[in-house]
Amino acid sequence: MIAVALLSVAALLVLAPAGVVLSARPRGSIILYGGCLIATSTLCVTALSDLLFFAHLSPSATLPIGLPWLGAHFRLDALSAFFLVVVNLGGAAASLFALGYSRHEDSPGRVLPFYPAYLAGMNVVVLANDAFSFLVAWEFMSLTSWVMVVSHHREAENVRAGYVYLLMASFGTLTLLLAFGLLASGAGYSFDAIRASHPSAAVAGMVVILALLGAGSKAGLVPLHAWLPLAHPAAPSHVSGLMSGVMTKVAVYGFVRIVFDLLPEPAWWWSMVVLLVGGPTATLGVLYALMQRDIKRVLAYSTIENIGIIFTGLGLALAFKAEGLGWVAALAFTAAMLHVLNHALFKSLLFFGAGAVLGATGERDMEKLGGLIHRMPKTAFAMLIGCVAISALPPFNGFVSEWLTFQAILLSPQLPSWGLKLAIPAVGGLLALAAAFAAACFVKLYGISFLGRPRSDVAASALETDRFSLTAMLALAALCLIAGILPGLFIDALAPVSKAMVGNIMPHQVGLQWLTIVPIAESRSSYNGLLVFVFAALCGTAAASAIHRLASDRLRRAPAWDCGYPDPNPAIQYSASSFSQPIRRVFGSVIFAAREIGEMPPPSSPRPARLRVELHDLIWDGLYAPIAMVVGFATERINILQFFTIRRYLTLVFVALIVLLLVVAL
């Protein structure tokens, strides 16, 4: 099993240099993305069969590369297998999409060599079984994705995005390096040795904080999210889909591996920290998303929301695990893992849809789109499913994982510690708010860009996207529906992961009457997506056929009514900013310090009146800007060092030497 996985990763690594050659050829990108599709599909199938049938085996392998006394350790246990499925499902979908989408790429040489390397990097992170390989692969993944973020480097915005991303990625790797340093201090770098060692409570606590900072900065936890909405949209759309849908999940993997696997039994306050970061991340992420007008940026902010939901689930799992309620911990952990998979499915789908729109119109700005459901009906259909699924509405998959998370929250009165008792209802409230905002956000995204009348000529003359892209999107949409109506299959597949990480599993689901899911007991709660779907479909078709047969099926077209005053100008429609104006007014005045400034010209002046909306990112202003200012100030001061004479440099060296000697002597 692991040999197949490693060989496929090696194939991806071979494809990377081949990309340099292939990018010069007319059909090179087809060959490269085709190769990636085959490699990732192989990996996906291998990992899936391992998760389903051989999860208890956990085969491992050691290759003689890397540090000479350590080698590179790899292991394919249940957790790695599950995340391999997620990574490669997303990777295969992105490669399939890119088969068609790559014709929009004007400089393939900037993307093609790095794309397979990036995929390989993510796979190695998940497979690594020692700290050294893990960190090297992690950094490899960051750097290859960074190259693709700045691939359109002529746009100033992308360069800035790349700069911020590089800084944050280095910060994340640094904290992870420190975390592993603390873990390995008594044991050694291999994960087996770390698992066997018993760090003290203080060290374990520090490792949790460092892991949360390191993995959280990659996943986009507030307040470490600032780079994400800049960097994810800047990359080509299939890479954006991978970064948002998959790479954030690799970060989640890093956190789970360190906190649930490598560290000993958790303390209750760990979960408190995770919950207090996760809940606000969910709500703030989607509120930011609501204020945006760039399609891809909306999607990137919504990724932050979903990461918040996942970390809330993980926090709940930690809390229940720490307090010895293993069966609830299994429920919360399974909910989080299911959301990992679900979010990878619908976020990739939505980014591909945004890419299709970008390819057809050249626009990412929603204010210039509209009416695309007429011009791109199939893309619009797939996007609709993605939007419903991400808004956590039944019968699609997003609802199932949120429902499971809510069920875990409802069991929290059983926890003994008071801090958690008070924090968890608040976090539950934040999640409920986030779910409602997500629906509002995706009504806006879909309604403004796909419905209504076209707001620009490019939108009015858009053409449907190619077959490869459509296949990728429709396949993901179908998976969203399947995971929504047959969640029992997915919950059962996750059992070995939950067994390995929290030591408990949810009750066995497949085989229950009508494939219902029952997280705890039937007297508590149950949900059957399949029956809801069949019920609703039957009611809808029955109503339609009855009305058409018995009452009337005639239809005629006429101009829109609009209360008698239809205006042919498409500018009369609601725009993205006006759609979110009520929510901005209710919530934004505090959270974004939003202000609307109306400028009326004096009565005699022919100037138009203007309305300006000011939004502030308080986290950027309050956290990042001061740090940037201090760093800038310090570098400017230190800059004098660059212009010394040789004499002064020698003096400096001499003084430094004296100081060092003094330090050693003392």
Partner 1 sequence: MNALGDILSQGAQMSLVLGLAPLLTGFVRKVKARLLRRRGPPLLQPYRDLVRLMRKDVVLADNASWLFRVIPYLIFSGTWVAASLVPTFGNGLLFSWTADLIAIIALLGSARFFQALAGMDVGTAFGGIGSSREVMIASLAEPAMLITVFSVAMIAGSTQLANVAEFMGSDAVGLRVSLGMAFVALTIMALAENARIPVDNPATHLELTMVHEAMVLEYSGRHLALIDLSSQLKLLLYVSLIACVFVPWGMATADASVDRFAFGALLYLGKLTVLGFLLAVFETSIAKMRVFRIPEFLGAALMLALLATLLRFVSGSL
- Tokens for 453? 């009348």
Count of residues touching partner 1 (by CB under 8 A): 89
Tell whether residue 549 is a contact of partner 1 (CB under 8 A).
no
Tell whether residue 448 is a contact of partner 1 (CB under 8 A).
yes
- Nearest Cα residue to 287 out of 544, 662, 9, 590: 590
Judged by beta carbon, residue 380 or residue 506, the one nearer partner 1 is: 380
Tell whether residue 439 is a contact of partner 1 (CB under 8 A).
yes
Which residues have a Cβ under 8 Å from the Cβ of 174 and sit 6 or more positions away? Answer: 214
The DSSP code for 262 is I
CB of 319 to partner 1, least distance (A): 14
Tell whether residue 315 is a contact of partner 1 (CB under 8 A).
no
Tell whether residue 543 is a contact of partner 1 (CB under 8 A).
yes
With CB under 8 A as the contact rule, which of the stretches 30-38, 58-66, 383-391, 464-472 interacts with partner 1?
A: 383-391
Rg (CA), the chain: 26
Judged by beta carbon, residue 19 or residue 279, the one nearer partner 1 is: 279
Sole binder of partner 1 in the list 104, 153, 195, 374 (CB under 8 A): 374
With CB under 8 A as the contact rule, which of the stretches 23-31, 247-255, 360-368, 440-448 interacts with partner 1?
A: 440-448
Tell whether residue 447 is a contact of partner 1 (CB under 8 A).
yes
Which residues have a Cβ under 8 Å from the Cβ of 388 and sit 6 or more positions away? Answer: 396, 442
- Tokens for 547? 């009305």
Tell whether residue 594 is a contact of partner 1 (CB under 8 A).
no
Phi-psi region of 644 (alpha: psi -120 to 50; beta: other; left: phi over 0): beta
**Burial group, residue 188, by CB count within 10 angstroms (0-12, 13-18, 19+):** middle
Whether 111 contacts 29, CB under 8 Å = no
- Nearest Cα residue to 314 out of 239, 215, 384: 215
Tell whether residue 510 is a contact of partner 1 (CB under 8 A).
no
Tell whether residue 581 is a contact of partner 1 (CB under 8 A).
yes
Tell whether residue 437 is a contact of partner 1 (CB under 8 A).
yes
Judged by beta carbon, residue 537 or residue 641, the one nearer partner 1 is: 537
Tell whether residue 601 is a contact of partner 1 (CB under 8 A).
no
- Tokens for 660? 């060092």
Sole binder of partner 1 in the list 201, 586, 590, 666 (CB under 8 A): 586
CB of 396 to partner 1, least distance (A): 9
**How far apart (Å, rounded) are the C-alpha atoms in residues 357 and 380?**
9
Judged by beta carbon, residue 94 or residue 316, the one nearer partner 1 is: 316
Sole binder of partner 1 in the list 73, 343, 347, 444 (CB under 8 A): 444
With CB under 8 A as the contact rule, which of the stretches 88-96, 197-205, 210-218, 401-409 interacts with partner 1?
A: 401-409
Tell whether residue 291 is a contact of partner 1 (CB under 8 A).
no
**How far apart (Å, rounded) are the C-alpha atoms in residues 434 and 442?**
12
With CB under 8 A as the contact rule, which of the stretches 125-133, 264-272, 306-314, 432-440 interacts with partner 1?
A: 432-440
Whether 125 contacts 250, CB under 8 Å = yes
- Tokens for 57? 């085996």
Burial 487-519 (b: 16+ CB within 10 A, else e): bbebbbbbbbbbebbbebbbbebeeeeebbbbb
Tell whether residue 452 is a contact of partner 1 (CB under 8 A).
yes
Tell whether residue 590 is a contact of partner 1 (CB under 8 A).
no
Sole binder of partner 1 in the list 440, 480, 483, 494 (CB under 8 A): 440
CB of 435 to partner 1, least distance (A): 7
Helix (H) / strand (E) containing 341: helix 326-361
- Tokens for 497? 């992961």
Judged by beta carbon, residue 69 or residue 418, the one nearer partner 1 is: 418
With CB under 8 A as the contact rule, which of the stretches 93-101, 180-188, 482-490, 577-585 interacts with partner 1?
A: 577-585
Per-residue binder mask for partner 1 (CB under 8 A), 522-541, x = binder: xxxxxxx--xx--xxxxxxx
Judged by beta carbon, residue 45 or residue 534, the one nearer partner 1 is: 534
Sole binder of partner 1 in the list 65, 547, 628, 661 (CB under 8 A): 547
Intra-chain end-to-end CA distance of the chain, in Å: 57
Tell whether residue 556 is a contact of partner 1 (CB under 8 A).
yes
- Tokens for 513? 């009457």
CB of 135 to partner 1, least distance (A): 40
Sole binder of partner 1 in the list 13, 432, 482, 615 (CB under 8 A): 432
Judged by beta carbon, residue 140 or residue 406, the one nearer partner 1 is: 406
Judged by beta carbon, residue 159 or residue 520, the one nearer partner 1 is: 520
Whether 465 contacts 376, CB under 8 Å = yes
Q: Provide the CB-side half-sphere exposure for 110 (13 A, CA).
A: 15
Backbone angles phi, psi at 534, to 5 degrees: -65, -45
**How far apart (Å, rounded) are the C-alpha atoms in residues 565 and 55?**
65
